Amino acid sequence: MTEHSFGDCRVVEEIGSGSISTVYKAIQEPLGRTVAIKALKTTIATSSPFAAHLEREARLLGELSHPNIALLLQFQKTESQMYLVIEYVDGHSLSKLLAKKPKLRPEVAAAIGAEIARGLAHAHDRGVVHRDVKPPNVLLSKRGEVKLVDFGIAQKERMPSLDEPLERADESAAFGTPAYMSPEQILGEYVDARSDMFSLGVVLYQMLAGARPFDAEDPSDPNGRRATAQRIRRDPPKPLRAREPEVPRALERIVMRLLEKLPADRYASAATVAEQLDDFVLATTSSPPRQLVTRALIEAGLAKPLAVSAPSFDASAPPQRRGTGPAVAGFSLLFGLLVAGGAVIQWNSPERRAAHEHGSGAPSGPGFLRVAATPWAEVSIDGVHVDVTPFARSLPLPAGTHYVTLTHPAAAPEKRTVTIVDGETILLDVAMNLRAAGDDGDSPGGRSTQSPSAHAPKAATARGDALPQGPR
């Protein structure tokens, strides 16, 4: 090993350092992919009790594999060195975003919180409690991913704790960060998954209100840390809407329940929290969560919109609309094919809806499909070109399965399968993944490893796929 390499990983820069380990950005050869290296400091022997903490973190991470947790790629231990090779997240920490924008829009905060909760749910299902959920340990990629990192003080059932020697080296590292700790963690009790729920509540509160719920009023108080711990144990948090009246009540209820003093009064599982936050996001906006995160980073000046590969057109603006003739012809062909197959399309006229509402015996209306695409896309349904987004109307379609293709000259085609139900409207909201200038596709250099979302809310097959909106 040279001074600037770890095995086949060539160090590019130092990211951060603690009392026991240092984190680097590196290039793993010969793959050429960017990774993060968390290495034991050279002043600490690999046989020391302090080194055991890093090895313990590696063993915990080795049991976890989830899109919302930074993935462990490799662990190396020799007589002279010990280090973890971890997925590199090309983006910024949540703490850096909050430094630029102390208050996030409710749907953005809820989207980030849901992703954190999903990562925690995966860890909790495997008996792992993070114990240090806070903004610096949440990474936001420029592509909108949310990753939980730093399991250095995590606790696992049936795995002995190593806090005592580490506490002598760095009390804050072992104990956690008081402002985000649960009352039971402050008391030094054995904690379970509900302790992480409290910490998540503090993070959500901070994202929405621009301040943590138990911070001291006087930041210059020399005993601020101890006072914060006492307030967490004894004082109820100020209601979220009392600090930020614009926060919707439904979201306030979720956050305040997470901040209950007694673990039994909080949510029983992180999966339940993720589901409730998802419901809030879906009821608030049609934008996919990753798009919300990326937009927040752009607005804070921490990311730039992707450039398109072709300079001859504006990727943010759809092409000139064609005359109504081709669109009508396309619809006619589509409907003719459907009728020939035995499907009868019922147009959604006001008279027909009125007749149906008054029980006149008219047949039930069709289902409807609304299409949105960012920045824009050509829309084809069942192989027939329909229109170019954006268009405001809902497309009437017979009940059953339909195949939708969205195309953009600077992106790979996006294909979706939607199931139409009589009388219901489905919203299909897709973000076209525009290639950067000069790109022929995804490049491993400088980007984090991408993983598909493992969670699909309600009746959707994936984020951005058809979402049931109810009749319109």
Q: Which CATH number fits domain 5-87: 3.30.200.20, 3.40.50.150, 2.40.160.20, 3.30.360.10?
A: 3.30.200.20
Reported pTM: 0.64
For 321-332, the pLDDT digits (tens) are 544 444 444 444
Three-class secondary structure of residue 270 per DSSP? helix
- Higher-pLDDT residue of 469 and 143 is 143
Q: Does residue 393 have a pLDDT over 80?
A: no
- What mean pLDDT is predicted for residues 15-34? 93
Helix, strand, coil shares, percent, the chain, to 5: 35, 20, 45
Is the sign of the CA dihedral 70, 74, 75, 76 positive or negative?
negative
Q: Structure tokens of 79?
A: 């007589």
> For residue 341, what pLDDT band results from cuts at 50, 70 and 90?
very low
Asked about 132 being catalytic, the answer comes back as: yes
Strand ranges for 110-207 from DSSP E? 128-129, 138-141, 146-148, 155-156
Strand partners, 14: 24
Contact between 192 and 263 under an 8 Å Cβ cutoff? The reply is yes
Strand partners, 402: 418
- What mean pLDDT is predicted for residues 441-447? 38
- What mean pLDDT is predicted for residues 360-382? 75
For 202-246, the pLDDT digits (tens) are 999 999 999 999 987 655 555 555 588 899 999 999 999 999 999
What are the residue boundaries of the structural domains of the chain, listed by start? Answer: 5-87, 91-299, 324-470
- Higher-pLDDT residue of 313 and 41 is 41
- What mean pLDDT is predicted for residues 185-203? 95
Report the mean per-residue pLDDT for the chain: 80
* Portion of the chain with pLDDT greater than 90, in percent: 52
> For residue 387, what pLDDT band results from cuts at 50, 70 and 90?
confident
For 160-172, the pLDDT digits (tens) are 554 444 433 333 3
Contact between 428 and 15 under an 8 Å Cβ cutoff? The reply is no
**What is the pLDDT, as a whole number, of residue 29?**
92
Can you tell me which residue has the tokens 């003719």?
Answer: 336
The most confident of the ranges 158-162, 383-387, 454-458 is 383-387
The most confident of the ranges 92-106, 146-160, 388-402 is 92-106
- What mean pLDDT is predicted for residues 117-126? 98
Between 7-21, 69-83, 166-180, 339-353, the lowest mean confidence (pLDDT) is in 339-353
**What is the pLDDT, as a whole number, of residue 409?**
82
**What is the pLDDT, as a whole number, of residue 440?**
45
Contact between 83 and 24 under an 8 Å Cβ cutoff? The reply is no
Strand partners, 274: none
> For residue 317, what pLDDT band results from cuts at 50, 70 and 90?
low
Superfamily of domain 91-299: Transferase(Phosphotransferase) domain 1 (1.10.510.10)
**What is the pLDDT, as a whole number, of residue 448?**
39
* Interatomic CA distance for residues 291 and 303, integer angstroms: 12
Strand partners, 466: 428
Q: Structure tokens of 456?
A: 């699909």
Three-class secondary structure of residue 263 per DSSP? helix
* Portion of the chain with pLDDT greater than 70, in percent: 72
The contacts of residue 128 (CB under 8 Å, 6+ apart) are 60, 63, 64, 151, 154, 155, 156
Contact between 292 and 143 under an 8 Å Cβ cutoff? The reply is no
Residue of 8, 125, 132, 382 marked catalytic: 132
Q: Structure tokens of 128?
A: 């792992």
